[in-house]
Copies of this chain bind each other. A is one copy, B any other.
Amino acid sequence: MSTPEDKANRHKKRMQARKEIVDAGVAKALEERGIVIIYTGDGKGKTTAAIGTVTRALGYGYDVVVTQFIKGVWECGEKKLLTQLPQDKYPLQWYEMGTDFTWETQDFEADKAAARALWGKALAALQDENIYLVVLDELTYALNYHWLDKGEVVRAIQNRPPQQTVVITGRGAKQYLKDIADTVSEMRALKHAFSDGIAARRGIEW
């Protein structure tokens, strides 16, 4: 039978091994630059993770630009909070397409025009070295619906200032987008409350 001391020793040994792995990873990861992060997949948490990143960057006073390529008519808690902070301390610009969900409008040309106008804001941010973080929320839809030119988008992201990080969200990120990313997380929906008849909830889902 193992004594508490055995257990403590096993734990210590396991943690020592873990520490060596972690330390080796940290020692190897020396390149300091902005990255491209993609949150894709069908599961919950893509936009939510982007908002978490915005909160994090603003916490250090970094300049952040959020562009939302689909959502924008709905009220949402994160926008209520983050856009009401004092701008001198938490410099955030927040832009939306300002049209309804595309399956509500059902008007390709109107959606495309709105998306392209918003892309102008995103492009300006991607060319501005004062911007530390650019969020392109639901960009995959704007690309997959052919509202935007994928070559133009890819070039703008690749040519951004080296210290700038870009977070892209949306289902169905294509391979050409993953190719230019440093980090790609795919959210898999193992379960989703909504599918089980539970209403989307204020302060949780939006």
Chain A residues with a Cβ under 8 A of chain B? 7-8, 11-12, 15-16, 18-19, 22, 25-26, 28-35, 37, 39, 41, 43-60, 62, 76-82, 85, 90, 101-109, 132-133, 145, 165, 178, 181-204, 206
Report yes or no: B191 in contact with A188, Cβ–Cβ below 8 A: no
Asked if A48 meets B41 with Cβ closer than 8 Å, knowing A59-B79, A203-B132, the reply is no
Asked if A19 meets B77 with Cβ closer than 8 Å, knowing A51-B56, A197-B28, A198-B31, the reply is no
**How far apart are A109's CB and chain B's nearest CB, in angstroms?**
7
**How far apart are A43's CB and chain B's nearest CB, in angstroms?**
4
Report yes or no: B12 in contact with A107, Cβ–Cβ below 8 A: yes
Report yes or no: A191 in contact with B203, Cβ–Cβ below 8 A: no
Contact of A58 among B81, B102, B104, B200 (CB under 8 A): B81
Q: Enumerate chain B residues within 8 angstroms of A76, measured Cβ to Cβ.
A: 56, 59
Report yes or no: A39 in contact with B35, Cβ–Cβ below 8 A: no
Asked if A193 meets B203 with Cβ closer than 8 Å, knowing A55-B82, A198-B29, the reply is no
Q: Enumerate chain B residues within 8 angstroms of A90, measured Cβ to Cβ.
A: 81
Q: Enumerate chain B residues within 8 angstroms of A77, measured Cβ to Cβ.
A: 55-60
**How far apart are A174's CB and chain B's nearest CB, in angstroms?**
13
Instruction: Give the residue name and chain of the B residue nearest to A173 (CB).
Output: B190
Asked if A184 meets B191 with Cβ closer than 8 Å, knowing A45-B45, A55-B51, A198-B31, the reply is yes
Instruction: Give the residue name and chain of the B residue nearest to A62 (CB).
Output: B203
Q: Enumerate chain B residues within 8 angstroms of A202, measured Cβ to Cβ.
A: 60
CA distance in complex: A190, B103 (Å): 30
CA distance in complex: A106, B31 (Å): 29
**How far apart are A204's CB and chain B's nearest CB, in angstroms?**
5
Contact of A48 among B16, B53, B106, B199 (CB under 8 A): B53
